[in-house]
Structure formats: C-alpha cells, structure tokens
C-alpha cells in the first residue's frame, strides 16, 4: 500500500471520528432536560461552555446537521475514489456503497448515540468547546439557512424552539434517590415524595375500605340498634342503606344528629338529616377523586363496580393517608396490620396492601389489576378460596393462610426467602 492510500485511510478515519462526534453531540445536547439546563445556567465554570452552546438551539442544530452532512459526503467520496481506482467503477462503487453504509451506521450513528445518551452531561462538557469552533466556522452558511428556516416557521406561526426537555418522572425519581443517598433529602421526605409518584398511578380501589369492612346503617333497624352502631363505632360519617348494602340512600353525618341522638324517637328525623351519597367507579384515579371531593365539598364517596354494586367506601382521609402516611389522633390506638416474627417473616392481616408488604419485607410481588391485597394475591395464585394451612410458594416468598372467617382470609404468615 503506497503513501496516498495510507493518507486516504487516515483521512477517512478522521472523517468517521467527526461523524461520530456530530451524531453523539446531537443526541447529548438535545437530551438535556430543564433541570440540567437551569443548573448549567447558574454559572458553574465547567458548564458555562455547554450553556453558551445551548443558548441558540437552532444554530446548534444547523451546525450539527451541516457538519455531519459534509464529513459523511467527504468520507464517502474518499472511499469510493480509492475503491474505484483499485477495483474499477462498477465493483468499486458497489463495495463503497456497502462499506460506507456499514461504517456510517455503526461508527457514525448508532455507537456514538448510544454512548451519548448514557453520558449526557459529560459528553456535552467535552463536546461544547469543539462545537463552539464549528458554530463559528459554519456561521456564514448557517445564518443563511436559519433566515430561510425562521421565515418558514413564522409563516406557520411556530414559536422559538427550546432545546431543554421537560423533566420526566424517571428524572425526578433519580434526583430524589440521589438526594436521599447524599443526605440532602431526609428519609421521611423521601418516602413522602415517593408516595406522590405512586399516588399518580393509584386507583380508588387500591385505597378504599372494602365492602366487607364497611360499617353501615340499615334504615330498617330499630332506633336502639341504630344508636348502638353509631355510638359503638364513633365514625363521623356513615353510609345508610335500605335492606341491601347495594341500595345506599344517603350518608349520615353524625354531628348533624349529635344533639338529638340520645332522645331520638322517630327514624324520620334521622332520614331528614341524610346527605346525598356520591358514587364513583372503582377504576377512578385517586388524584381526580381528590379534586372531585374538593369540588363537591364531600369527605366520603361510595365506590361501585361496573354493575353498580357497592365495592367499598372512600374517604378524604384515605386519599391523604396515601400521600402522607397513616393519620392518627390522640384517641387512636396505632395498630399495624402486621407484626414481625423475625427479620424475614411477618404475621399479617390478609387485607394488607401489596405495596405495604413489598415495603416492609423488601419484596417485589407483582402488580396485578385483579388484586391489591395479600388475600387477593393468594386467591389469584391458588385459583380458589383457600383453607387454613394452605400456602403459596414462589421463588421470593412463602405465604401461609393462618385463619379464615368463612370465605374470607383473615391472617397470613409471610416469609421472605434469603435469596430474595
């Protein structure tokens, strides 16, 4: 191989490196989100060059496109010329087309973009000083092109483009995790922020009081029976139904009858105090439900299934607790739905939420639209109503049924395996 061929190889290699540089720079610069952009804007010395480049995103984009176009054309011409000299026009052109397609795809596009997307900030810091040179170099051409582009954009009424992307949920989660690891964000604050993210994907079915645990009043009961349930349970609001819990006729706000409760003789007085019940579908998301309750000035709603049957009851407190954790007043006895037997085993109520089980035992029980409690998990796995002593065994955990109340699972023993 003579000297001109060596020089051609070196020339093509340099052009491929530049192609990789422009492709990687495009991915890295235009992957910067608003959080990163604003942080660079604050003036840290190592980020000042990046910020300067990003100040004019259209000029940056035109520079990258021009640079990539020129180096790709030059490299293709150089390789084609060399191969045509060696193999003739037909074979040389064919070989050049195949070879350059492979080289440009692998080394000029795919590889640099994968590297750039995984090292956005470091890539842009290294790239920015060189990019400033190319921006200056292509200024005459880019100015003309930008004038034409901006004119077209004005015709279509498009506003100035911003290079910085909105911060994604995953970006925010990463920021919170980093802040927690570095001690900037307290553990309690971290848990609350994580609850906010979970809240956005939470349906009312996941946080409601299930039908079987609802305390309701049957309007057909005796006055003494009604008084007993009201005084024994001490809830501030209670659903009232007529014969069947699926036929809820109103919500009793206990404070509305507090002054007459002891001397209550006529049920009509209680009926007159009932407030309008609000019914919501079980798949309604928690955040819109919170807005709904605020709009209608209600603290309680009845959750129904697709057939209109009552599934459960949702209170404002249920929604708030999903965000900030359990709320207790001075008279509440705080009872956890589980107790530790050892560091890997808990005895728990079967109605314990899957998310809480995962948090307590550091597990990753699969999420499923068909259940959100450990009882639902057991029945889904077994495909039937279990008996006492039956268990579910997976690679991560073992769940054993300890007690039943009719067809309802009451208590379970959950053991996390050592390899989990």
From first to last of its 420 residues, what are the pLDDT tens digits of the chain?
455 667 878 888 999 999 999 999 999 888 887 666 766 666 566 677 888 888 888 899 999 999 999 999 999 998 888 888 888 888 888 898 899 899 889 988 999 999 998 888 889 889 999 999 999 999 999 899 888 888 888 887 765 554 445 556 666 666 667 666 766 677 766 676 767 767 777 888 888 988 988 999 999 988 888 888 888 888 889 999 998 999 999 999 988 888 777 777 788 888 888 999 999 999 898 888 988 999 988 999 999 998 889 999 999 988 888 776 665 554 455 567 889 999 889 999 998 888 888 888 888 887 777 788 899 899 989 999 999 999 999 988 999 999 998 888 999 999 998 865
CATH of domain 338-416: 3.30.465.10
Q: Answer for the pair 317, 345: CB distance below 8 angstroms, yes or no.
A: no
**Spans of all domains in the chain:** 3-155, 169-199, 204-324, 338-416
Is pTM beyond 0.85? Reply is no
Q: Kindly tell me the burial class for residue 363, based on how many C-beta atoms sit within 10 Å of its own C-beta (0-12, 13-18, 19 or more).
A: middle
Contacts of 234 by beta carbon, 8 Å cutoff, 6+ apart: none
Rounded CA separation 212/209 (Å): 8
Contacts of 304 by beta carbon, 8 Å cutoff, 6+ apart: 279, 280, 281, 282, 310, 311
CA atoms in the 13 A half-sphere facing the CB of 115: 18
Q: Answer for the pair 314, 301: CB distance below 8 angstroms, yes or no.
A: yes
CATH of domain 204-324: 3.10.580.10
Encoded tokens for 153: 């954009």
């Amino acid at each position: 191989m003579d000297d001109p061929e060596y020089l051609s190889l070196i020339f093509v290699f340099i052009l491929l490196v530049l192609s990789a540089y422009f492709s990687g720079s495009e991915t890295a610069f235009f992957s910067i989100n608003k959080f990163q952009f604003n942080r660079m804007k604050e003036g840290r010395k190592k980020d000042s060059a990046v910020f300067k480049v990003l100040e004019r995103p259209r000029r940056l984009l035109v520079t990258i496109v021009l640079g990539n176009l020129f180096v790709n054309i030059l490299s293709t011409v150089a390789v084609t010329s060399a191969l045509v000299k060696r193999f003739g026009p037909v074979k040389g052109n064919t070989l050049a087309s195949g070879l350059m397609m492979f080289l440009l795809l692998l080394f000029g596009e795919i590889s640099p973009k994968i590297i750039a997307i995984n090292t956005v900030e470091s890539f842009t810091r290294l790239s920015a000083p060189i990019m400033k040179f190319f921006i200056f170099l292509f200024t005459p051409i880019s100015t003309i092109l930008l004038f034409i582009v901006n004119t077209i954009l004005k015709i279509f009424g498009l506003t100035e483009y911003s290079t910085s992307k909105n911060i994604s949920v995953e970006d925010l989660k990463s920021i919170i995790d980093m802040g927690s690891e570095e001690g900037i964000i307290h553990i309690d604050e971290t848990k609350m922020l994580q609850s906010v993210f979970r809240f956005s994907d939470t349906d009312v079915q996941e946080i409601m009081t299930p039908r079987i645990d609802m305390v309701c009043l049957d309007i057909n009961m005796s006055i003494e029976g009604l008084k007993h349930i009201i005084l024994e349970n001490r809830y501030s609001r209670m659903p009232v139904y007529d014969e069947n819990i699926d036929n809820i006729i109103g919500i009793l706000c206990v404070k509305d009858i507090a002054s007459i409760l002891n001397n209550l003789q006529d049920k009509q007085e209680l009926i007159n105090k009932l407030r309008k019940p609000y019914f919501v579908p079980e798949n309604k998301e928690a955040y819109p439900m919170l807005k709904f309750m605020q709009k209608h000035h209600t603290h309680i709603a009845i959750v129904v299934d697709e057939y209109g049957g009552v599934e459960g009851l949702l209170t404002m407190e249920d929604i708030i607790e999903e965000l900030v954790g359990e709320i207790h007043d001075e008279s509440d006895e705080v009872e956890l739905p589980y107790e530790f037997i050892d560091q890997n085993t808990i005895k728990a109520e079967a109605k314990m939420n899957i998310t809480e089980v995962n948090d307590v035992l550091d597990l990753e029980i699969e999420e499923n639209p068909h259940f959100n409690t450990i009882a639902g998990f057991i029945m889904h796995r077994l495909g039937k109503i279990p008996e006492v002593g039956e268990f579910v065994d997976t690679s991560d955990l073992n769940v054993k049924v300890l007690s039943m109340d009719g067809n309802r699972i009451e208590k379970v023993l959950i053991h996390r395996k050592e390899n989990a």
